[in-house]
Amino acid sequence: MPFFKLTDEQLMIQSMVREFSRKVLAATAAERDKTKEFPAGNLKQMGDLGLMGMMIPPEYGGEGADTISYVLALSEVAYSCASTAVVMSVHNSIVCESILKFGSEAQKQKYLPQLTDADIIGAFALTEPHAGSDPVAQMTTAEKKGDRYVINGSKRFITSGKNCGLVIVTAKTDESKKHKGISAFIVEQGTPGLIVGNIEDKMGLRASDTTDLIFENCEVPAENMLGNEGDGFKIAMTGLDGGRIGIAAQSVGVAQAALDHAVKYAKGRDQFGHKISKFQGLRWYIAEMATEIEAARQLMFSAAAMKDRKEKYTMQASMAKLFASEMVNRITGKCLQIHGGYGVTKDYPIERLYRDARVFTIYEGTSEIQKVVISNGILKDKRKM
């Protein structure tokens, strides 16, 4: 029995998303992996189902759901298509919630209904070529000129960078103040000076575009600043806390899919006159994997519940992200091993799941950065990098 007893509403959401995911998303996941086609139509369907603004209040077009419902839904999407799940995660956890928490009323009224309907997809631009784990070292600048800010710089590895309708971008507005000199801006796609650069040819999550974004004298109105000047670092770190719970959910979904595929294969594969599911070594693999998935699920629920209770959850989000992302890499590797030689062919979903899982220990803070966050929380100090 799960430690967290789900409500009838949460179970209903999980069931609804499970049906949609396994009928609709699963049908095209393998083909999209080959073609790298962005799942725009599926995302619009998800907007119609309320999945693209789950935690946004109804007055802004959202569902007003809790974080537990959100991670249940996200796990189900990731089960069938991790590429679609990462777009959903960034869109919900970082973009929508950042605008809800830090945006002006005018910004909420203008952007949230479009985002929750998936009329536009949101992106978040923090990472730079020389500033990955150290965002304070970012070099993008925003200079105020009259009633506008002029942004110059480049961002790297931006999820949905090509297909987004708006991007929240961080930039330095005061070089002398380090992280307190970083501000955040809402930049609409099509703004002069915003250029979509290189689109990465990735090993996994191939239907989710990952791009460079270049800003060349990109002018945005001053009212497009998100929060106050100097709030950019706080906005980014707050968004990443929620995003890390989302990565835990993606990891749980992909790991559960891998285990289910491995169990199905093992129950059908004959070797030495027996189904390989009868072999003790393989059965122990399955027991260990199921236990690890459940442990990750409970860490995910714990962080999500703390967020819903409005408690400080930074350390718990990092714990969930660290354990779950490392877990899914172990699980997909073992499940591929169970498939033997077939596991490295594209005839079986495990090959795609194995590739999709690899980046989970890297994006939105590497496993090493999660250990820094966790140890800071335990020791109640911050080690200088």
C-alpha 214/C-alpha 193 separation (Å) is 8
Q: Which residues contact 357 (CB under 8 A, 6 or more apart)?
A: 82, 204, 251, 254, 255, 258, 328, 329, 331, 332
Please say if 364 is a catalytic residue.
yes
Using the structure block, give the residue that is written with the tokens 């707050």.
238
381 CA to centre of own chain: 28
DSSP codes, 182-211: EEEEEEETT-TTEEEEEEP--SS-TTS-EE
Q: How big is the CA angle at 194 (ends 117 and 127), to the nearest 5 degrees?
A: 80
Amino acid at residue number 311: E
C-alpha 245/C-alpha 58 separation (Å) is 23
Q: What is the phi/psi pair of residue 294, to 5°?
A: -65, -40
C-alpha 201/C-alpha 212 separation (Å) is 12
C-alpha 165/C-alpha 118 separation (Å) is 10
Instruction: Single out the catalytic residue among 76, 97, 351, 364.
Output: 364
C-alpha 23/C-alpha 290 separation (Å) is 24
**Measured CA distances, 146 to 143, 150, 227, 297, 314 (Å):** 10, 10, 18, 50, 37
C-alpha 55/C-alpha 189 separation (Å) is 24
Asked if residues 160 and 121 have their Cβ atoms less than 8 Å apart, the reply is yes
Using the structure block, give the residue that is written with the tokens 């595929």.
261
C-alpha 310/C-alpha 186 separation (Å) is 26
Q: Which residues are catalytic?
A: 364
